Amino acid sequence: SQKIEQNSEALNIQEGKTATLTCNYTNYSPAYLQWYRQDPGRGPVFLLLIRENEKEKRKERLKVTFDTTLKQSLFHITASQPADSATYLCALEGSYIPTFGRGTSLIVHP
Amino acid sequence: DTAVSQTPKYLVTQMGNDKSIKCEQNLGHDTMYWYKQDSKKFLKIMFSYNNKELIINETVPNRFSPKSPDKAHLNLHINSLELGDSAVYFCASSQSDGLTSTDTQYFGPGTRLTVL
């Protein structure tokens, strides 16, 4: 069956460091993968989309990589700030049903 | 301007009651969705509508009935509420046709439903 895995444990890092979050998937051949940010009590907000033929995508301090051989996407936040603390969800397009991972909580300490 | 709005934000009710959640989007999107996020934060799709037509119905009990009066609105009616229905319900919309691709999802603020 199709599965998306994100680290269930919270990632704690110091302000200024680079945060790296992982999204692994099995039994998918997605045309693209998306990353969303969710703050407590709010709906997810779209951050970045990367297509299967793209290795890397950047937006300001954010960088996403997509390795279709490893079936993995990495999400990086450089020069992290306490305001980056949130849950980050990856989402795959598969059989027209949008499927989300459970998300990884990121906590950036000042 | 609010892109995707939901009402109410909080809903507390007794088991067995019937309740509705309303959703509206002003983005001009053709496809709208309902998701359920449980206590473990797992976000799972329930329904999607494209231009007022049901596209996805993900094995949701028939106590849940979505209604789309026009493509900017997708309401969710729940009959005979059960304890297990307690969750946060998110409405979303996207530009896709809902069949061949799932473009960026724009989410509402969520409705926290508590069934006592």
Which residues of A fall within a CB distance of 8 Å from B108?
Answer: 43
Q: Which two tokens stand for residue B70?
A: 């026009």
pLDDT digits (tens, 9 = 90+) for B43-58: 999 999 988 888 888 8
Distance from CA of A38 to the nearest CA of B (A): 10
Compute how many other C-beta atoms are within 10 angstroms of the C-beta atom of residue B44.
14
| Contact at CB, A96 and B98, closer than 8 angstroms | yes
Q: Confidence class of residue A8 from pLDDT cuts 50, 70 and 90?
A: confident
- On whether any CB of chain B is under 8 Å from the CB of A87, the answer is yes
Q: What sections of chain A are H helices per DSSP?
A: none
Distance linking the first and last C-alpha atoms of chain A: 41
Q: What is the predicted pLDDT for the residue at B102?
A: 66
pLDDT digits (tens, 9 = 90+) for B16-36: 999 999 999 999 998 999 999
Look at residue A109 in the predicted model and tell me its pLDDT: 97
* Mean pLDDT confidence for B62-74: 93
Sign, CA torsion B37/B38/B42/B48: negative
- Alpha-carbon gap, residue A21 to A90, rounded angstroms: 10
Q: Average the pLDDT over A1-18 and give the result.
A: 90
Residues in chain A: 110
Per CB-CB distance under 8 Å, the chain A contacts of B44 are 100
pLDDT at B99: 66
Interface contacts A/B by beta carbons within 8 Å: 54
